[in-house]
């Protein structure tokens, strides 16, 4: 496999890396929640792709729904 990526491919993989690191930051902020906090909407401070932000999170058993209050990006972690 060639290691010569186009600029477009490098940008894509860098964006994936940034998003993965942001989701890990959100996951780390949730690492100490208790069973009684599942299915509860709350906010955490975490490093996001847009920088340090307040993130709304809704942890559930199938994954964690999140939305950045700075840039509006939303997603699901886990599943």
What is the gyration radius of the CA atoms in the chain, in angstroms? 15
pLDDT at 63: 87
Nearest in space to 56 (alpha carbons), one of 46, 79, 33: 46
**Band of residue 1 on the pLDDT scale cut at 50, 70, 90:** very low
pLDDT at 25: 87
Q: How many CB atoms lie within 10 A of CB 19?
A: 14
pTM for this entry = 0.74
- Domain boundary assignment for the chain: 7-77
The number of C-alpha atoms within 13 Å of 25 and in the hemisphere containing its C-beta is 19
d(CA 54, CA 56): 7
Q: What is the pLDDT of residues 2-41, one digit of tens each?
A: 578 899 999 999 989 988 888 888 888 888 888 888 899 9
Find tokens 């993989």 and name the residue: 13
């Amino acid at each position: 496999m060639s290691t010569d990526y186009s600029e477009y491919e490098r940008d894509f993989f860098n964006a994936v890396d940034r998003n993965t690191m942001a989701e890990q930051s959100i996951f780390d902020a949730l690492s100490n929640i208790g069973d009684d906090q599942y299915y509860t909407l709350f906010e955490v401070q975490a490093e996001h792709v847009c920088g340090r932000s307040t993130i709304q999170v809704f942890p559930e058993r199938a994954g964690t729904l999140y939305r950045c209050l700075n840039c509006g990006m939303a997603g699901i972690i886990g599943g």
